[in-house]
Amino acid sequence: MAQPAARQASVARKTKETDVTVSLDLDGNGHYDVSTGIGFLDHMLEQLSRHSLMDLTVKASGDLHIDFHHTTEDTGIVIGQAVAQALGDRKGITRYGAATIPMDETLTRVALDISNRPYLIWRVDFSKPKLGDMDTELFKEWFQAFAQAAGVTLHVENLYGENNHHIVETCFKALARALRQAIEIDPRKADDVPSTKGTL
């Protein structure tokens, strides 16, 4: 039996605002090496790797003296591009994934479709404009950038919660678990694209 093709990718993006390189392996063990210059974002991307079981290396530098916006958004773009590249023609994937993740008083649900039709529904509210040094509005920007670049229909809904750290962390962990489901190869249809159209 032939060995399955490696589902790996490396993507670099350099602009006047940021310099981002990402390498990932969809069939990894959740190993990560992340450095964006934004401590909380690093923590969230480590959670993404650990709970999706993707091996993920992210190196980013950006205009943090202005704010965290460009680095946050561009990191989402490049990780999304790497996921899309590693998926290739998306043959054999389960395609759909969903997860509901608790963290203390917080509960968040993510559902996604690796459809090549990018769309984000973001039903997440924060009680404060900042989480540490990071603007809480930037988390939506990361998810939007990721969904667009990865070609994913992505619904993120915080059902309830009070602690902003918990809310954000459950969003990333739920994305990770849903993504882990969706990128799995379906042994019953490993040679087929999961669409009646024959392509995604």
Where do the structural domains in the chain lie, given as residue ranges? 8-183
Determine the Cα–Cα distance for residues 85 and 87; give it in Å rounded to an integer: 5
CATH fold of 8-183 reads Ribosomal Protein S5; domain 2 (3.30.230)
Between 45 and 200, the higher pLDDT residue:
45
User: How do strand 8-14 and strand 18-25 relate by DSSP bridges?
Assistant: antiparallel
User: Is the Cβ–Cβ distance between 24 and 9 less than 8 Å?
Assistant: yes
How large is the average pLDDT for residues 67-82? 98
On whether the pTM is more than 0.75, the answer is yes
How large is the average pLDDT for residues 32-44? 97
pLDDT of residue 5: 77
Which amino acid is located at 182 in the chain? Answer: A
Determine the Cα–Cα distance for residues 67 and 52; give it in Å rounded to an integer: 29
Return phi, psi of residue 35, to 5°.
Answer: -150, 105
Of 91, 93, 95, 90, the C-alpha closest to 112 is 95
What pairs with residue 123 in β-bridges? 157
Mean pLDDT, the chain, whole residue set: 94
Which amino acid is located at 152 in the chain? Answer: V
pLDDT band, residue 1 (cuts 50/70/90): very low
pLDDT of residue 195: 67
How large is the average pLDDT for residues 68-96? 96
Between 108 and 194, the higher pLDDT residue:
108
Which H or E run contains 55? strand 55-62
pLDDT band, residue 190 (cuts 50/70/90): low
